[in-house]
Structure 1
Amino acid sequence: MKRKVPLRKCILTNEMHPKKDLLRIVVNKENEVFVDATGKKNGRGSYVVKDLDKVNKARGKKVLESRLGFDSETLEPVYDEIIRLIYREDIPKR
């Protein structure tokens, strides 16, 4: 029996992707925002596609800022972390 692949919508592109192809961004009760590489941390999760071009474009357009309601200063390290994780995952593929 073939198992169903869980899909999640990317908040940058509004496209559906398999959950494993996305990074989870969490806003917790303390109103902290961070990237959850494990996908298991508590808090409100949003998903972002693992695509450098799209992340950089979104950063320019301040997509996360409008979606999550935080200022650029708060989200700057989040963007950096997303990009760092994409690079880290990319290395074994090359």
Structure 2
Amino acid sequence: MKTKKIPMRLCIGCGEMKPKKDLIRVLKDAEGTIQLDFTGKKSGRGAYLCKNMECFAAAQKGHRLERSFGCRVSEEIYEEMKHALQTELAGTADHLS
């Protein structure tokens, strides 16, 4: 029986290749809205981050989202994404306990 290929993606925070399921997708849709896509299925341009705040901070500090999407990302968008990521991580930690 053939083994199923695991899709790998590059984290823009730490630069490591990891399985797609272990990462969170950052999405830029057709209207230019940038948001976190926890399902990974919405349409638009995507970049990936590890599920931790260190990679998010590294991506923000290095302006890696701007480089990936080719546009400016405002501080308000970073704050919204930070809050959404913290909420998701808290929910995941509660779920695992």
TM-score range, shorter chain: 0.7 to 0.9
Give the superposition deviation at 1:74: 2.4
Aligned residues: 93
The answer as to 2:82 corresponding to 1:79 is yes
Structure 2: 5+ residue stretches without partners? none
**Seq. identity, %:** 31
* Counterpart residue identity of residue 95, structure 2: P
* TM-score (norm: length of structure 2): 0.79
CA distance in 2, matches of 1:11, 1:36: 15
CA distance in 2, matches of 1:71, 1:65: 11
Which whole-Å deviations, capped at 9, do the CAs of 1:24-43 have from their partners, x for residues lacking one?
Answer: 11001111011111111011
Give the superposition deviation at 1:52: 2.8
Q: Partner residue of 1:30?
A: 31
Structure 1: 5+ residue stretches without partners? none
Alignment RMSD: 1.9
The answer as to 2:80 corresponding to 1:43 is no
Name the SS for the 2:87 alignment partner: helix
Check whether the contact 1:64–1:75 (CA below 8 A) recurs between aligned residues.
no
**Within 5 Å, which residues of 2 pair with 1:1-94?**
1-59=2-60, 61=61, 63-64=63-64, 66-67=66-67, 68=69, 69-94=72-97
Indicate the larger mover: 80-89 or 31-40.
Answer: 80-89
Indicate the larger mover: 48-57 or 11-20.
Answer: 48-57
Check whether the contact 1:65–1:72 (CA below 8 A) recurs between aligned residues.
no
Check whether the contact 1:25–1:48 (CA below 8 A) recurs between aligned residues.
yes
